[in-house]
Each structure stands twice: as structure tokens, then as C-alpha cells.
Amino acid sequence: MNWVTLTVEPWMPIGADKAKEDFAQIAAATGFRVLKIDRARKKADLVGAQPGDLIIHQYPSYLGDDWELAFEHELQQKGILFGVLIHDFEPLRLPAQAENSAAFQIMHQADFLIVHNQRMADRFSSINAHIFKIQLFDYLTEHTIPEKKTIHHALLYAGSLAKAAWLKHYSLPIPLTVFGRVPRAWDFSVSKTIQIKNPIDPSILPASLPAAWGLVWDEDLDPNKTHYQDYEKINSPHKLSLYLAAGIPIIVWQRSALAEFVREHRLGLLINDLTDISEDALSHCQINFDQLSKISKQLQRGYFSQKVLQKVIDMKKAIPDGCRPK
């Protein structure tokens, strides 16, 4: 039997668990069983897990790395093949977590890893020899996405605003629509260019986004506290999947992990700084709308998750019973 974990945490902000929930749903459609982890009780429902099974654990569960290590060890002791799908890895984006040896130990002891992209694979190659790449996190939605052939000279940003303090200093003349919950101490009431929208159910959000440019951007106002921008060099952001699923072009940092993917498929604009965004730059950016539409449909249908799941299944079939990957 093949399993995928899903942490149950009903108090999380809207959309925070979308990537994990979608991956679990896609895996279930592929024949996996969902192993639920109750975050409140710090317990996993292991009933039915047997020696010779395979588990893809969606990390982090936010129960602490001591719990993660014990969970991994318990399952491997049962003779279960244990893989880790990395959603976020805090030691690489928060200096305070940089010396978290337990997090690296989890990755080292796993039988295999599923990472975001080639850049992240390179970063973890010395920690674990068995690595699969998902490339993009899928974004499931059953709502019809309006076709967008004309894109306005306007920007939009969706996600956790608490990690986007640069928004407080946004000064471009290009209008910016923000979807997210504004931290209490922030005030955009006098801004002439920023419009704040309340969070929307993530399954509806792709169909609700306007025909604008999806902005994927991170800055570190205090590099001693965060390494968010540097993390973009190995990250496949979920908001990028949201924008592409919505069928809108994107703007990404030219040093980010997915910059080459964006360039190759002509999905948007590459920038070095926010000041590179101008009416002229948007006007002259050539978008391949056919390719954008194709990738949008792939994301909505779980294409990237299905591909990596099949590779994991094929690996398991090739391993003799009771053995680990070599």
C-alpha cells in the first residue's frame, strides 16, 4: 500500500494548506491512501500501515522536528519506505533556524526526497542521494478560468502578507491589487496604487484573479532575520502556480529557481529589482499565451504531481521486498 500524509489543522489561514491538500487529493486519485496527522493531538493515524508500504510525508507538519524524527524512525522501524516531500525548509530561509540539525537529519535519514526543482535538488544532493523533483506544485480548481488574451498594465500579489513587508514601501506608479489579510500594524489607507482584497477561498481564487501580472517577489528588510529572497533561488513558490493556473503572466526575480522555466516558455517578465517593472517593460514582454494556457490546464489537473508520483511508484517496484533504495 502507498500512503501520503496530510496534517489536519483547521485553524490555519485561508489557503495555507492548499498545496498539501491538493497533493494528497492527487495522490489519492492515483491510488494512495491519505494518512492524517492530527496537529492538535500530535498523533498520526497509523492503522493499516504495514511493512513493505511506502509513505510520502508532506513536510513540515509543524509539530516540531523532534516529532518529525520520531515519526520517521517509527515508520522505518516498521519496515516502511519513508519519503519526504518538502514544502518549506526553514533552515534555508530563516537564519535563526540555520543550525537546526534535526531538520537536516530528517532529510538525510529519509529513504528519498521530493524537492521543488533542480536547484533544490543540487542543494540537497549531499544530504540524500535519492531525489525526485516536482518542478511546480499543482493548483486544483473545478471553476472555469476565464480566457485572458489582453493583460492590463497592473500587478497583483496573493499570499501571506506577513512575509511581504516590502509591500509597505511599494512606490511604483503601476496599480497593485493585493489578496491577503493585512497585519494589524500596516496601513494602506492612503495608498493611491495599492488595493487590498480580502482572502478568497483558494479553490475559487484562480477564477477570480483579474487580467493582470502576477508578481512573485521577496525582499529581506532585515537579512539578519530572514533570507526570503535568497530562498527564491531554490524555491518553487505556490503563488506562482496560482498565477499560472489562473492563466496570467508572471513577474519573477531573474535569479530565482524558475526564471529559466519562465524564460523558456515565455510566461512573463524577469526582473532584478521592482524598479525594473515599467509600462514599457510590460508592453514589450512577449507572452506565449498558448503555452500559458497549456501549463494552466496542467496545474489544474494535477499533471506535475502525477508525474513525480509515478516515478516514486516505479522506484518502489524496482526495489526488492524489504530493501531500501541504493
Reported as a single tens digit per residue, the pLDDT across 253-268 is: 999 999 999 999 999 9
Cα 56 off chain centre by: 16
Determine how many CB atoms are found less than 10 A away from the CB of residue 156.
24
| Predicted confidence band of residue 95 (pLDDT cuts 50, 70, 90) | very high
- pLDDT value, residue 252: 98
Residue 249 pLDDT greater than 90, yes or no: yes
Residue 190 pLDDT greater than 80, yes or no: no
Residue 14 pLDDT greater than 70, yes or no: no
- 100-127 per-position pLDDT tens digit: 999 999 999 999 999 999 999 999 999 9
- Domain map of the chain by residue range? 2-138+302-318, 155-301
* CB 21, CB 6: distance < 8 Å: yes
- pLDDT value, residue 91: 96
Q: For residue 48, what is its C-alpha cell? A: 493499516
Evaluate whether 2-138+302-318 and 155-301 have a shared fold: yes
Q: For residue 105, what is its C-alpha cell? A: 537529519
Q: For residue 213, what is its C-alpha cell? A: 501580472
| Predicted confidence band of residue 204 (pLDDT cuts 50, 70, 90) | very high
Class of domain 2-138+302-318: alpha beta
- 59-83 per-position pLDDT tens digit: 999 999 999 999 999 999 999 999 9
What CATH number was assigned to the domain covering residues 155-301? 3.40.50.2000
**Average pLDDT of span 200-214:** 94
Could you tell me the pTM of the whole model? 0.95
Which residue bears the cell 524564460?
263
